[in-house]
Amino acid sequence: MDNWKNNTIWIDEIPNDLYRDINLKEQLLADNVTNDLEYLTLWHYKQNKLGSFNEIPNTLRYLELNWANIRDFMGIEKLTKLKRLELHYCTKLEKDDGLATAAGNLEYLHINQSKKFIPTNELYSLKHLRVLCLNACGSLESLSFLNKFPNLIDFRFVNTNVLDGDLSPIVEHPTIRSAGFLNKKHYNIPAEKMATLLEEKNGGEEYKTIIKKKGRRKFYTERYNYKD
């Protein structure tokens, strides 16, 4: 299933045998996963002596970690089918070590509320990224690194400071069409103007499709148009 491409994933539309939501303070990971899982949400995952990602099925296409204690991404090379990775409140995360091993498959990366995390060359190697969210992460010297991602469509850095204030790399990037950030006095392009500039980019060519929720048509999300 390719639900992972939707900006909002409706979990109730994923078959029960393909998805698990596990609170590791109450359940054991090994007792609740199978070798055919594609979607997995974990709460309070802890790195052990063998490293990270060891007990996580290598069949996953989507992995969400909430309040995990990981400090880097070492071990993620086992997840060869992973397309989308979301980290929320992983406050000990500092380095992108190991992330380059996912460069062949990862397309969506969300890192939210990891104040110590600052991207380096390992993250920059993710050439297939379509969506990159670095919300409430460590300050970025500049956005010059965006040219490392030739296929990026959506870049978000809400509550992450860009020290030099120059947001023009977003506009100059050939494929970015959506951006999310909070206005700051030293930023040279306000959010409202940025939205207009990005909508007009590439002749205003349509870059997203509306996806309506099954049985509840007034609820909808979006997915970006691109070829795998």
What CATH number did the domain enclosing 138 receive?
3.80.10.10
Spatial contact of 59 and 34, defined as CB atoms under 8 Å apart = no
Report the pLDDT value the prediction gives residue 125, as an integer from 0 to 100.
98
Domain range holding 219?
3-224
Collect contacts of 132-135 with beta carbons under 8 A, ≥24 apart: 132/156, 133/109, 133/157, 133/180, 134/160, 135/110, 135/111, 135/159, 135/160
186: Cβ contacts below 8 Å, ≥ 6 apart: 165
Counted domains in the chain:
1
CA distances to 123, 132, 227 from 211, in Å: 29, 21, 17
Using alpha carbons, select from 79, 97, 94 the residue that is nearest to residue 40: 79
Report pLDDT for 47.
Answer: 86
Between the two ends of the chain, the Cα-to-Cα distance in Å is 14
Separation CA 207–CA 22 (nearest Å): 34
Q: From first to last of its 228 residues, what are the pLDDT tens digits of the chain?
A: 799 999 999 999 999 999 999 999 999 998 889 989 999 999 999 987 667 898 899 999 999 999 999 999 999 999 999 999 999 999 999 999 999 999 999 999 999 999 999 999 999 999 999 999 999 999 999 999 999 999 999 999 999 999 999 999 999 999 999 999 999 999 999 999 999 999 999 999 999 999 998 877 788 999 999 987
Structure tokens at 60: 């996953």
Residue 50: the pLDDT is 66
Pair of tokens at residue 117: 């995390």
What is the DSSP annotation of 55-118? SS-TT-SEEEEES---SS-TTGGG-TT--EEEEES-TT----TTGGGGTTT--EEEEEEETT--
In this prediction, residue 218 carries a pLDDT of: 80
Task: For 53, list phi and psi in degrees, rounded to 5.
Answer: 70, 15
pLDDT at 48: 77
* Tokens describing residue 62: 């989507």
Q: What pLDDT shows up at residue 55?
A: 87
Question: Rounded to the nearest 10 degrees, how much is the dihedral formed by the CA atoms of 24, 28, 31, 33?
Answer: 30
